[in-house]
A and B are shown apart, each in its own frame.
Chain A
Amino acid sequence: MSALEVRTYGPAEAKPRVGFFTDTSLCIGCKACEVACKEWNRVPESPQGFTGNSYDNSIDLGANRWRHVAFVEQRKELGADGVAANGLVEAASIEALVSETGLQTYQDGDGLRWLMASDVCKHCTHAACLEVCPTGALFRTEFDTVVVQQDICNGCGYCIPACPFGVLDQREGDGRAWKCTLCYDRLKDDKEPACAQACPTDSIQFGELDELRARADRRLEQLADAGLEGAQLYLADGSDGIGGAGAFFLLLDDPEVYGLPPDPVDTTRDLGESWAAVGVAAAGLAAALVGSVLFGRRR
């Protein structure tokens, strides 16, 4: 069984695993995904004010933000990540790079690099939120996505610190935990999720995971060949700490620059250690009780 395979459903019910490939090199930061998600899923408004963090005023994923576009401004010379510092060379390379790869993240002239990335729930293969959920509100669908059943969630809040990506949060005034459903309702009607449909540059690509991964591999090679050494596929295969994700990314810098953990793990893999520690502690407590009551003076 490959790590990306999840066997919750039998062959009769299971659908091919679907997900998102978010190619951040194509993102123009328009936030259409954030808006489309809110409209389709009727996610309440989340006014945040002005952050001063580039064009990001929605801050992070949460109960009322299931897509979030990150903006990073870097002053970074272009071409093989730092080789060509000369402005003219740079401008020429930008044109070449844009025509060659469709890269959207450089602006002409001043060596300023924009990194924009639309973040979303990763729909992990090994999902910590689902494992710790005491009510079974969080479940795995026939598409191998991870969804909160809102009629079951009792707002215990365990999934919120359990998620290694900080995706889930509690909705104020509602009390329950909310996150991206990968448009479960639309999937059941054979429609792509709202964010992917709204994305004007195909930075967000929806499809069957196997196909998306093959596409991502080709894209990574193309960008590497064009000299983007920082380009990396994030969560694209099953060898990471969450067994691979249903939503994976092509990033142009390290994950933490986008607010993503570089080595996320599903803490359930350490469950045995935790329960063993409980066993040892309980035995120790029993020994202390027996020792203090049954030995020494009776009164």
Chain B
Amino acid sequence: MSAARSSNGHAQLGSFPAAVEREPPRAPRSYHGQPVIKEPIWHPEIPWYFFTGGLGGASAGLAWLAELRGNDVLARRAWIGAFVGTNVSPILLINDLGRPLRFLYMLRMFKVTSPMSVGSWVLVTSGGAASAAALDALLPPVPRRWRTLLRLAAVPARPTAAMAGLPLATYTGALIAQTAVPVWHEARRELPALFAAGAAASAGAFATALTPVADAAPARRLALMGSMAELALVALMEHRLDELAEPYHQETAAAYAQLARGLTVAGSLLLASRAARSRPAAIVGGALVLAGAVCERWSVFKAGFQSARDPKYTVGPQRRRIDGGLTRGASRRVVAAAARAAGRARSA
């Protein structure tokens, strides 16, 4: 806005201090429209890992509990999910590193301030335990020494896999929340729960698709519970993010979000209505819910990039915090000596 024009558009005579015209709230300013923060450099491996980690983590819990309840038919299928999920995960993660050969450096230290460090240890624990438990559950009981050792190892491995699966399925929410990306950081209370819901839906759907319908009732319940929670938590997250949620309604993130919603709704309707009687319905319904969970992770992933790319999401909330008096911001000004003197004279 030119200083020579008042806010109602009439030209002013001469020029008067801008104090008389209160400017309306402006769009956040920026440096040539460039982003303030950097977009992540993570590749497609990462949203896929969010999915496989969730699938593996929740499947281990499902398998162990099904075993405890005496449903071995379901337990064996769920152990397959745990094995696949927790073994594909490290491959994806290592492949995403800028220096894959240095993947072991992830275990140089244990840092609570770094969800990635905590997650690395969780994944190692969970992967080792789930692999031992799954191999023991799936391999034939041959009279060999290694088989006996595996049987013994699986005794503590089963509950360990189930327990470690819980943080494995959820820490990824904290991982992306602990960044400067507004749509992620401001959703730090919802993201872990959203990923947990997706994990429950994935594990339930995977086991439902693989298990004969007569033994799959717990998996179906888990898939439905997870799907419902996933839909509800997306809505809650977007509500809490308010205008920062915009990326979820634009570009690629919006496409994935819509796809995720459609697939999850369709899949869970099919599971709820037909999967108890029809194996094909269980397979198709399970596949739809799994695809929905994948798309939901992709939607969150892409929204982060879009949120980082546009400086208004970074600058806008920060400027509002300052203008609203919630924080002082990072800048400090001083009043000129003349104004200081005038202020003193007025108060005297």
Question: Taking beta carbons and an 8 Å cutoff, which residues of A are in contact with B?
Answer: 51, 53-54, 56, 59-60, 62, 70, 72, 77, 80, 82-85, 128, 131-137, 152-158, 160-170, 174-177, 220-221, 224-227, 229, 231-237, 239-242, 251, 254-264, 267-268, 270-271, 273-275, 277-278, 280-286, 288-294, 296-299
Contacts and interface: CB of A to CB of B under 8 A. Distances in A.
A282 to B, nearest CB: 4
A88 B174 CA distance: 59
Given A134-B116, A299-B217, 5 more contacts: A77-B3, A156-B97, A158-B114, A256-B311, A296-B217
Nearest to B75: A293
A270 B71 CA distance: 42
Contacts of B318: 261-264
A165 B36 contact: yes
Contacts of B73: 299
Nearest to B179: A161
Contacts of A289: 58, 61-62, 65, 200, 222
Contacts of A153: 98-99, 102
Contacts of B111: 131, 133-134, 136
Contacts of B189: 273, 277
B162 to A, nearest CB: 8
A80 B336 CA distance: 10
Contact of B327 (A84, A137, A241): A241
A271 B335 CA distance: 37
A280 B233 CA distance: 13
Contacts of A51: 32
A136 B29 contact: no
Interface string B188-205: 111111011001100010
Contacts of B222: 288-289, 292-293
B128 interface: no
23 contacts: A82-B17, A132-B178, A132-B179, A154-B99, A156-B106, A224-B336, A225-B337, A254-B29, A255-B331, A256-B311, A261-B330, A263-B329, A270-B188, A275-B112, A277-B192, A280-B192, A288-B200, A291-B221, A292-B218, A292-B221, A293-B222, A298-B70, A299-B71
A254 B316 CA distance: 13
A166 B35 contact: yes
B180 A163 contact: yes
B39 A161 contact: yes
B71 A261 contact: no
B179 A162 contact: yes
Contacts of B71: 293, 298-299
Contacts of B138: none
Contacts, number: 329
Given A157-B40, A285-B166, A286-B166, A224 B69 contact: no
A132 B166 CA distance: 21
Contacts of B314: 261
Contacts of A254: 29, 331
Contacts of A296: 217-218, 221
A271 B179 CA distance: 10
Nearest to B43: A157
Given A157-B98, A263-B318, A233 B32 contact: no
Contacts of A283: 166
A66 B217 CA distance: 58
Nearest to A133: B114
B90 interface: no
B117 interface: yes
A221 B330 CA distance: 17
B28 A85 contact: no
B317 to A, nearest CB: 8
B308 interface: yes
A224 B333 contact: yes
B332 A163 contact: no
Contact of B113 (A261, A271, A273): A271
A149 B31 CA distance: 31
